[in-house]
Amino acid sequence: MKIEVKYTEKNATVDAIVALAKSALEELELSADIAQTEDATVEGGVAVTVDNYTLPAQVDGQAYPKWLIEAGILRALKPKGLLVLCVANSARSQIGEGIARMLAPSDVRVQSAGSDPTSPRPEAIAVLKEVGVDASGHTSKNVADIDPQTVDTVITLCDAESCPVFLGKAYRLHWGLPDPSGDDEESRMAAFRSARKELIKRFKVVFG
């Protein structure tokens, strides 16, 4: 794997991007070259490529957040067995499973689970249906019941809670997202749609 940071002028932004790339590689327990190249033709001053895939310069007005670099590295790894985890496997991980399955190639197996599974939240099923994903058959699963042979990549989505632990060998990333909640149906649905939007954005980089 090769990561290249091109820039028109070496500055603190470039140093920060390189530091984020090193941190992402460390989290995934990978090693890779991070080339830094001065290039006067780079639009916007900085460009980042991972194995010849050029990352978008900004996402929602934010320049090169850590998750974006992580997603670019994950894209280069070409995962074939993705496991999405949160505690109850009822909301965030259910949405993550549905979105990843929608975007991933047909030969990628996508699963979700939790350490204390309950049942899929109706709001999660509803927001997936809004983007054409039928999750009516989804169930909540215990991470202990997942066959390690079917997983090569794990993404945890828990935020303030203690994340589930998958004991199999896999690449691991943590994308902490707030547990979608609200005082009424309108605010709850807004929170679930926000989680969906965030996961679509991230998995589009991985699988798009």
Cα 114 to Cα 81, 87, 125, distances in angstroms: 16, 5, 17
2-76, which class in CATH?
alpha beta
Assign domain 79-207 to a CATH class: alpha beta
Positive or negative CA dihedral for 52, 79, 98, 22? Answer: negative
How far is 90 from 75, CA to CA, in rounded Å? 26
Q: Is 15 a catalytic residue?
A: no
Assess contact for 157 and 113: CB atoms under 8 A: no
Boundaries of every domain in the chain? 2-76, 79-207
CB 14 within 8 A of CB 47: no
Structural tokens at position 142: 């215990």
Q: What angle do CA 97, 100, 101 make, to 5 degrees?
A: 80
Question: What are the CA-CA distances from residue 84 to residues 59, 89, 164, 193 (Å)?
Answer: 22, 9, 10, 18
Helix axes 92-103, 185-207, angle to 10 degrees: 40
Tokens of 55: 């990352």
pLDDT of 59: 85
Q: pTM for the full model?
A: 0.94
Domain 2-76 and domain 79-207, same fold? Reply is: no
What are the tens digits of pLDDT across the range 124-183?
Answer: 999 999 999 999 999 999 999 999 999 999 999 999 778 999 989 999 999 999 999 989
User: Which of 48, 71, 124, 163 is flagged as catalytic?
Assistant: 163
Q: Does the pLDDT of residue 15 top 80, yes or no?
A: yes
Q: Please give the pLDDT value at position 122.
A: 97
pLDDT in tens, 55-77: 998 888 888 999 999 999 999 99
Using pLDDT thresholds of 50, 70 and 90, give the confidence band for residue 83. Answer: very high
Measured CA to CA, the distance from residue 20 to residue 202 in angstroms comes to 16
> According to the model, what pLDDT value does residue 92 have?
97
pLDDT value for 160: 75
Instruction: Indicate whether 106 pLDDT > 90.
Output: yes
| Catalytic residue flag (residue 158) | yes
> Which of 84, 158, 177, 206 does the annotation list as catalytic?
158
Q: Are 13 and 51 in contact (CB under 8 A)?
A: no
Name the burial class of residue 116, with classes exposed (0-12), middle (13-18) and buried (19+) by CB atoms within 10 angstroms of its CB: middle
Which of 43-47, 80-84, 115-119, 197-201 comes out lowest in average pLDDT? 43-47
Q: What is the pLDDT of residue 62?
A: 83
Q: Can you give the pLDDT at residue 69?
A: 96
Q: Mean pLDDT, the chain, as a whole number? A: 95
Catalytic residue among 14, 55, 86, 110: 86
pLDDT at 103 over 90: yes
Residue 156 contacts residue 163 (beta carbons within 8 Å): yes
**More confidently predicted of 62 and 6:** 6
- Catalytic residue flag (residue 126): no
